[in-house]
Structure 1
Amino acid sequence: MAYYIQNEDLEIYDLIQKELQRQNTHLEMIASENYTFPSVMEAMGSVLTNKYAEGYPNKRYYSGCEYVDGIESIAIERAKKLFGCKFANVQPHSGSQANGAVYGALLKPYDKILGMDLSHGGHLTHGAKVSITGKTYQSFFYGVELDGRIDYDKVADYAKVIKPNILVCGFSAYTRELDFAKFKEIAESVGAVLMADIAHVAGLVVANEYPNPFPYCDVVTTTTHKTLRGPRGGVILTNNEEIAQKIDKMVFPGMQGGPLMHVIAAKAVGFRENLKPEWKTYAKQVKSNIKKLAEVLVKQEFDLVSGGTDNHLILMSFLKNDFSGKEADIALANAGITVNKNTVPGDIRSPFVTSGIRIGSPALTARGMKEKEFEWIGERIAEILSDIKNESLQSDIKKQVFALGNNFIIYDKSIF
């Protein structure tokens, strides 16, 4: 495929090659990013991109769908097996659209959502006022305490006052395990539907390295990239037949037209990888690596939100430092280490500046790095942040980072 791009659109080809080099040499530590499998990319670049297939398997509005019906059916069955549930809709184009479909299926305009505050680690689609979810529905929020943990008694108190129609448990930046059983108790006490957004931890869930939201949650959404290492896309899961029917109608024709069959095929391919015994080894290593990184940074006297992690990410807090999350993000990027600035509990800086950074281990673990490499990386991060304005130091470490990256090449140039 690279042959055609190289000969037909050199401008785009050159930028793809530069991005390939960046991914192979830099240390990708954004918690929501990962390196997918070559087989997944192959499926996404297949002839399936040509096929319209509005509807669902064996109930399409276009003819010629006999083969894509088989593909989508396989994706559904693999998703159900992975998560241990009865129903799966694999058509959502993203996690945001999956969340939107759940709300659209189960709520009326101005119904109430209770979710985690964006500034405390929630997601835009959990009712943030700048999101369509916060404009269409009445959204209310719980957060974390200054220790970085959820106070479930407070969530229960909020729920009793608000009486939400949907209680959302999920996050984009929370370092501890969610207690789905406690969330279920709270939801039942006020008659709310309990929805879990496990986009960040799904790859750990299917490996039994993080609690499974079933049987506690009424409906579960996830992305298929992040810790699952699949293509970019969304999935909706449930054990409730009535909810499943409403969601199917909301995804199509309610929110989307033709599903992306090349992406659904890629989801199926990714799910097959997740079902392999080797996946459990990967997920365990993801957790082991981030714990090693946390250990090194704590030893270097940096503050971590909640003091550590139970999943795949950590949050470094600079509330006691003279520099911001944005400055830390830039300094690390100058050294070839890619993270993202992030708000932290008690933050007084704007979301564009922040007082923290979020760091994850999934992508580098996919490249084969283990505790030894994460210990070295932690020492370099500490070195950079302890002398954050030293551009010469950042330049020197970048050379070392590139040398490390070249020992863990994720993609051979020939496949592009």
Structure 2
Amino acid sequence: MAVNTSQLKDQADLLRRGLADLHAEDFELASLLDAEVSRQHRTLSLVSSSCAVKPRTLVACASALVNVSAEGMPGKRQRAGCENVDLVEALAIRRARELFDAHYASVQSHSASNAIAQVLSALLEPGDTLLGMAHDHGGDLTLGSPAVFTGAYYKAIRYGTTADGLIDYAQVRHLALAHRPRIIICGASAYSRVVDFERFRAIADEAGAILLADISHIAGLVVTGRHPNPINAAHVTVTCTHKQLGGPRGGLILSGRDANTKVPGLRSTFSRVLDQAVFPRMQGAPAVNLIAAKAAALGYARSPAFDACMGRVRTLADAVAGAFQAHGYDVVGGRSENHTVLIRLQGAMTGAIAESALEHCGIVVNKHRVPGETRSSLVTSGLCIGTGSMAQRRLDTEGGRQVIALVCRLLSSVTPLGEQDYQLEPVACEQVRSEVQALCARYPIADYLEG
């Protein structure tokens, strides 16, 4: 397809004008946005759900598609003026299907949480039973916690991990046969080992349940072949597009071989009831500019550069787990087989203190609950470390070990005064902050953005 250089120039001019107008007419907001860019460049993010998006994705987010209201599906809109929106959404759907080897894809969900809510609304009645992973054992809050909709509107039963930190498949089977849930959800936010989707499907089939897989945290590893793909094991798969895929905040709903089969107990197929659950049941007009950004990210996810980045994600996770163990920390599950490393903190140290102290010195981490947790989710006894942003900065394994050495050195200079209060040695903090700045300069995120 020929590129219209005149139109490209018009778009670039419009974006430049927008930036200039923002700085000239709303300096307060512009300076906050500039400050955030600076923060991201000068801090090391070890957050498992954190990654930077490519400029092409940012441009798609800021495109003129934001001006279009497009309730409905491609070719079946409630409003006129959607000819280009239809093509953009069809492109995003095609790329999602090809990338995940899916028969069905919906790209309108505003987030993975929305996608899960939409799937459950299509397949469950209020009060129905679902089985999901407990948050203390690595599960996401959306998978059955009483604090969110899954626990509020449905009867949520939760499974956990063994003493070795592995999913307790025997417990999953026992609970599934005892409670006969309508849906079993396999997915986690802080589980560092490979998920056996085929084993989950066998349990679901035995219990007469539908299997829903949430791969938000491992989607990049899945599409590059570094983690098993659940598309044909699960009846339905959901993911977000902003954690590993480097896209905008948004969700995808996918289905493989079961897409065109009838939902047990219903007359319609999975693909039909899922479409209807997104629109009109749960969501109005989609954010079509974000659908374009999803298409951009899904396109980049097919590139050799993305594959190489996911390779670094895995090697860095191995290095990070080994480095924590070398410093005497307990790594839940013994090692990492994806991008996350969940550690149990030592002594009186809490996740809240560690998170705050490290951020003060330029390292961003997430506190997290661990198996056997006795502290609240606002305090916790662990940290969940992710290697996505380190991989984007192109850190090698030695660089990853240096980062963990800084983390451990800083934590050793902290004196807990309670669950959230602490004293931090100023000299140690300044030394760590200086070394963080040096690592950020040595491995600039700008290289990834421009590459």
TM-score range normalised by the length of the shorter chain: over 0.9
Q: CA RMSD in A?
A: 1.4
Q: Residue type of the partner of 2:405? A: E
Match in the other structure for 1:4? 21
Match in the other structure for 2:129? 112
Match in the other structure for 1:330? 356
Distance in 2 (CA, whole Å) between partners of 1:391 and 1:196 is 46
Match in the other structure for 1:22? 39
Match in the other structure for 2:97? 80
| Cα deviation, residue 211, structure 1 | 0.8
Contact 2:393 2:443 in 1 (8 A): yes
Q: Residue type of the partner of 1:370? A: D
Distance in 2 (CA, whole Å) between partners of 1:8 and 1:369 is 39
Distance in 2 (CA, whole Å) between partners of 1:163 and 1:188 is 11
| Cα deviation, residue 409, structure 1 | 3.0
Contact 1:146 1:346 in 2 (8 A): no
Aligned pair partner of 1:296 in 311, 323, 329: 323
Match in the other structure for 1:276? 303
Distance in 1 (CA, whole Å) between partners of 2:414 and 2:444 is 28
Contact 1:289 1:361 in 2 (8 A): yes
Q: Residue type of the partner of 2:397? A: E
Stretch moving more, 204-213 or 361-370: 361-370
Match in the other structure for 1:376? 402
Q: Residue type of the partner of 1:86? A: H
Stretch moving more, 206-215 or 117-126: 117-126
Contact 1:219 1:237 in 2 (8 A): yes
| Cα deviation, residue 277, structure 1 | 2.3
- Deviation string 1:341-390 (CA, Å, 9 cap, x unpaired) is 10001111111111001110101211222212111111111211222232
Distance in 2 (CA, whole Å) between partners of 1:41 and 1:393 is 37
For normalisation by structure 1, the TM-score amounts to 0.97
Q: Residue type of the partner of 1:62? A: R
Aligned residues: 413
| Cα deviation, residue 406, structure 1 | 2.4
Distance in 2 (CA, whole Å) between partners of 1:279 and 1:19 is 25
Match in the other structure for 2:433? 398
- Deviation string 1:258-290 (CA, Å, 9 cap, x unpaired) is 000000000000000001122221111101012
Match in the other structure for 1:55? 72
Stretch moving more, 349-358 or 116-125: 116-125
Contact 2:204 2:211 in 1 (8 A): yes
For normalisation by structure 2, the TM-score amounts to 0.89
Distance in 2 (CA, whole Å) between partners of 1:257 and 1:404 is 45
Distance in 1 (CA, whole Å) between partners of 2:438 and 2:130 is 48
Distance in 1 (CA, whole Å) between partners of 2:427 and 2:208 is 59
Contact 2:312 2:394 in 1 (8 A): no
Q: Residue type of the partner of 2:378? A: F
Match in the other structure for 2:371? 345
Distance in 2 (CA, whole Å) between partners of 1:227 and 1:368 is 15
- Deviation string 1:304-352 (CA, Å, 9 cap, x unpaired) is 111221000101102x422111111122112210001100011111111
Aligned pair partner of 2:382 in 347, 356, 372: 356
Distance in 2 (CA, whole Å) between partners of 1:114 and 1:344 is 20
Distance in 2 (CA, whole Å) between partners of 1:191 and 1:340 is 37
> Which runs of 5 or more residues in structure 1 are unaligned?
none
| Cα deviation, residue 298, structure 1 | 0.7
Q: Is 2:166 the counterpart of 1:149? A: yes
Q: Residue type of the partner of 2:225? A: N
Match in the other structure for 2:337? 310
Instruction: Report percent identity of matched pairs.
Output: 38
SS at match of 1:228: coil
- Deviation string 1:188-220 (CA, Å, 9 cap, x unpaired) is 011000000000000110000111002211000
- Deviation string 1:68-120 (CA, Å, 9 cap, x unpaired) is 10000000000000000110000000000000000001111111110001222
Stretches (4+) displaced over 4 A: none
Larger radius of gyration: 2
Q: Residue type of the partner of 1:192? A: A
Q: Residue type of the partner of 2:374? A: I
Stretch moving more, 225-234 or 140-149: 140-149
Distance in 2 (CA, whole Å) between partners of 1:402 and 1:4 is 32
Contact 1:334 1:395 in 2 (8 A): no
Q: Is 2:292 the counterpart of 1:265? A: yes
